[in-house]
Structure 1
Amino acid sequence: MHRRRRTALVLTAAIAAAAPLLTACGNDAHPGAAAVVGGQRITVAQLESRVDEVRRAQRAAVPDDTQYQQVVSSTSGLTRDTLHNMVLDRVLHRAAQDQGITVTRKEIQQMRGDLERQAGGSKGLETAWLQKYGIAPAHLDDNLRLQLEAQKLATKLGTDTSQPAFWKALSRASEELHVDLNPRYGSWDVQKSSRVDAETPWVREVTTAGGQPVTA
């Protein structure tokens, strides 16, 4: 498992945020879907909406045009990382369900309160999650639920989120859900529960001069 993929769960390092969409010319085997997880589609529109939310939050946090373009250019993996997290969220939730694990609203609020005190308030926490993990404020609580599920799952398995036993549980969940990514976004490695880039010559990245993704 690539270290960047692990850190999104254990909260110990920043992940890249913001990237151009992968675009492709040719037949699309997944029309309108970025991924199918457990028979449920994550549509391209849903993915783009999530990416746009992060972009808008970044823009609000960095109003200077030059600095904003630096943020865009220095965070080149948002679309792919966002899809990875959207899929992994469902995989982890399934793995937690398999172990009878649940997370309550009260637990999420308690975790958020603790983190807000560390970050100097709600705004500080939202800014930290945006900068470190590419999580827009509207989805902060969803991500905290993910963290709690990961912690509880690791505890139930008698391990931690960096150990093979934890990722083996996610691998089983990936198999159960039959994760299928649109080839334009790569593929899903079941054993590692991670998105990987596909080496396809017909895939290309296109970005406008303003740093916004476009689709060919």
Structure 2
Amino acid sequence: MHRRRRTALVLTAAIAAAAPALTACGNDAHPGAAAVVGGQRITVSQLESRVGEVREAQRAAVSDETQYQQVVASTGGLTRDTLHNMVLDRVLHRAAREEGITVTRKEIQGMRTDLEKQAGGTKGLETAWLQKYGIAPARLDENLRLQLEAQKLAAKLGTDTSQPPFWKALSKASAELHVDLNPRYGSWDVQKSSRVDAKTPWVREVTTATAGQPITT
């Protein structure tokens, strides 16, 4: 996967959004889990809830049903991208913690204030993050923490988020956390710290029929 894509929401990558529902239900090792990271489960229910938050925000941002359906139809990976970011968040947090990096509430607010000025206010920033990165307004501060951790980690390593030393640190954290994805969502590439699609033709995707509802499995 292209490095800019692997960066996900850390700094610059634009995440496409959609709401596919999958007919497979869990794996044998971790039934009901979308992923297990460091022995902790990210449940399918948690993933669905996060996707539902984005869908609700997208629905509220457009004026009619036709526009909303166009938003859904024009994007194609919200569920998997959301899981990718939920896992990457934990991986990055582990890597940052190992370097003694912390992020304060004041730092998050400072970053948000600066971004709001650039975006023309709170609403402008929330809209930009929703459209570009698939981040619901309620998760904006959480994502800014992720970005600050990435920036601080890169600085501590004397590099930036596009360079091998940064991704080597994430790879190390991925290996330590033993990331295990439910096969329906692909697999986790430890070296790239990225979700990759698995070649599983027996998994059938269907499009969510009812607009505005969380995905079902």
Question: What interval of TM-score do these two structures reach, taking the shorter chain for normalisation?
Answer: over 0.9
2:91 is the alignment partner of 1:80: no
1:133-192 superposed Cα distances (whole Å, 9 cap, x missing partner): 000011100000000000000000011000111000000000010000011111000000
| Counterpart for residue 32 of structure 1 | 32
Distance 1:172 1:115, change over 3 A: same
**Whole-angstrom distance in 1 between the partners of 2:47 and 2:26:** 21
Q: Which amino acid aligns with 1:91?
A: V
| Counterpart for residue 54 of structure 2 | 54
Distance 1:26 1:168, change over 3 A: closer
Q: Structure 1 residue 7: deviation in Å? A: 5.0
| Counterpart for residue 134 of structure 2 | 134
Q: Structure 1 residue 28: deviation in Å? A: 4.1
Q: Structure 1 residue 26: deviation in Å? A: 8.9
| Counterpart for residue 5 of structure 2 | 4
| Counterpart for residue 120 of structure 1 | 120
Q: Which amino acid aligns with 1:152?
A: K
Query: In structure 1, the residue corresponding to 2:42 is in which secondary structure?
Result: strand
Q: Structure 1 residue 118: deviation in Å? A: 0.5
**Whole-angstrom distance in 2 between the partners of 1:85 and 1:114:** 23
**Whole-angstrom distance in 1 between the partners of 2:191 and 2:20:** 27
Query: In structure 2, the residue corresponding to 1:10 is in which secondary structure?
Result: coil
User: 1:64-213 residue pairs with structure 2 within 5 A?
Assistant: 64-210=64-210, 213=215
**Whole-angstrom distance in 1 between the partners of 2:150 and 2:160:** 9
Query: What percentage of aligned pairs have identical amino acids?
Result: 85
Query: In structure 2, the residue corresponding to 1:30 is in which secondary structure?
Result: coil
Q: Structure 1 residue 25: deviation in Å? A: 6.7
Q: Structure 1 residue 27: deviation in Å? A: 6.0
- The answer (yes or no) to whether the contact 1:108–1:145 under 8 Å persists in 2 is yes
**Whole-angstrom distance in 2 between the partners of 1:7 and 1:34:** 18
Query: In structure 2, the residue corresponding to 1:50 is in which secondary structure?
Result: helix
Query: In structure 1, the residue corresponding to 2:23 is in which secondary structure?
Result: strand
Q: Which amino acid aligns with 1:52?
A: G
**Whole-angstrom distance in 2 between the partners of 1:66 and 1:92:** 38
What is the TM-score normalised by the length of structure 2? 0.94
Q: Which structure 1 residue ranges, 5 or more long, are not aligned?
A: none
- The answer (yes or no) to whether the contact 1:22–1:185 under 8 Å persists in 2 is no
What is the TM-score normalised by the length of structure 1? 0.94
Of the structure 1 ranges 80-89 and 25-34, higher mean CA displacement relative to structure 2 is found in 25-34
Query: In structure 1, the residue corresponding to 2:10 is in which secondary structure?
Result: helix
* Equivalenced residues, count: 214
Q: Structure 1 residue 53: deviation in Å? A: 0.2
Q: Which structure 2 residue ranges, 5 or more long, are not aligned?
A: none
